Amino acid sequence: MKLLVAAVGRWRGGPERALFDHYVSRLKGGLAVIEVEERRPLPVAERKAREAELLLAQLPPGAFVVALDEHGEAWGSERLARELDQRRLEARPAAVFAIGGADGHGEALLARADRKLALGVMTWPHMLVRGLIAEQLYRAQCISGGHPYHRS
């Protein structure tokens, strides 16, 4: 199963990218990033709808989609590992972690998501979220493989 981050916004260099790359280098099978961007100055509701449309257009058919959303569930690392293991058993072609723009996801993306996941109640910079997801995917892989990286 391919692992993907589908995100609104473009990478710039810096420590957030280094963190992401560090964990991606440890992941068996890697982690691809799909970036979309709406550059027109649209009203918030229109921009969210357009960003959702752009993200949805990039999703592989049959993908398990997790929308990062402040109103989502809070999972532990073990839950993430179980969710991914289950999707592998279902032969899903990909697991996509969708990161919205500054104002969050549009309704169409939230409706398509199989799960909504919150990374806690704090607000995180979108570029840092990429690194957090990469680390948690590596941790989930370690949990599933019985590797001692994760200690609960």
Helix axes 126-145, 77-89, angle to 10 degrees: 70
Distance of CA 112 to the CA centre of its chain: 14
* pTM reported for the whole predicted model: 0.94
pLDDT, one tens digit per residue, over 31-68 is 999 999 999 999 999 999 999 999 999 999 999 999 99
pLDDT, one tens digit per residue, over 66-111 is 999 999 999 999 999 999 999 999 999 999 999 999 999 999 999 9
Element housing 145 (H / E): helix 126-145
